[in-house]
A and B are shown apart, each in its own frame.
Chain A
Amino acid sequence: DSGVTQTPKHLITATGQRVTLRCSPRSGDLSVYWYQQSLDQGLQFLIHYYNGEERAKGNILERFSAQQFPDLHSELNLSSLELGDSALYFCASSVDPAGEETQYFGPGTRLLVL
């Protein structure tokens, strides 16, 4: 158990819908990262927040957005969902803002868009 929690574990929805994925980092970690993992691609970095502020963006679509709240939990919002958005979404946390400390991953949310 990494100490990072993600909800829900599984999510099934339809194209065009909007969903919210939630992540609680390890106690004491200020950085939260979001990744997407699909079958044909490896882990793709989406976005990084540190203590409520966006630090870096990766391959995140405009239909996707995220935020980190004062209690340090983070939410990833996916809208206008397409079939290709079906994937595992992982959250990771670390202590430092530059991510040079180890990132610890949560168990993931499996999203299926029908």
Chain B
Amino acid sequence: EDQVTQSPEALRLQEGESSSLNCSYTVSGLRGLFWYRQDPGKGPEFLFTLYSAGEEKEKERLKATLTKKESFLHITAPKPEDSATYLCAVQGGANNLFFGTGTRLTVIP
């Protein structure tokens, strides 16, 4: 069965304090791993798609990496506006997206 586990559940960082969020997954035939950002009460906003182990993508202060078992979302020198819940999702052979429960990030000024 497809499974996605995100850690930590919550993370508090000082502004400028870099860190990483983890997404461990089990899926039959990975077709893609997706990272989304979600603000309270709003729909998830797409960040990255990774398709194969070793792939990396960057956008502003965020960098996503992928191995055969997990993905990391690295946040470099975060700002308060980076505060949100970050969701990881995998797409396997069934084509459906299977989401983790997210990491709630708070960046303190």
Contact assessment for A107 and B34 in the assembled complex, using a CB-CB cutoff below 8 Å: no
* Contact across chains for A105 and B34 when beta carbons are under 8 A apart: no
Q: Which residues of B contact A99 (CB under 8 A)?
A: 91, 95-97
The closest CB in chain B to the CB of A110 belongs to B41
Tell me whether A45 is interfacial, beta carbon within 8 Å. Answer: yes
Is the Cβ of A43 less than 8 Å from the Cβ of B95?
A: no
Could you tell me the distance in whole angstroms from the C-beta of B64 to the nearest C-beta in chain A?
13
In the complex, the answer to whether B32 meets A48 with C-beta atoms within 8 Å is no
Whether B94 lies near A56 (C-beta < 8 A) is yes
Please determine whether A103 and B45 come into contact, CB atoms closer than 8 angstroms: no
How many cross-chain pairs have Cβ atoms below 8 Å apart between A and B?
60
B49: which A residues are within 8 A, CB to CB? 102
Interface bits B88-100 vs A (CB < 8 Å: 1, else 0): 0101001111111
Chain A residue numbers with a CB within 8 Å of B83 are none
Min CB–CB distance A82 → chain B (angstroms): 22
- CB pair A108–B100 under 8 Å, yes or no, is no
Interchain CB contact under 8 A, B97 and A103: yes
Q: Which of B72-90 contact A (CB under 8 A)?
A: 87, 89
C-alpha gap A90/B43 in the complex (Å): 7
- Once the chains bind, are A100 and B31 in contact (CB under 8 Å)? yes
How many angstroms between the C-alpha atoms of A88 and B42 in the bound complex?
9
Residues of B participating in the A interface, judged by any CB pair closer than 8 Å: 31-32, 34, 36, 41-46, 49, 87, 89, 91, 94-102
Contact surface of A with B, Cβ cutoff 8 Å = 2, 4, 33, 41-45, 48, 55-56, 58, 88, 90, 92, 98-100, 102-108, 110
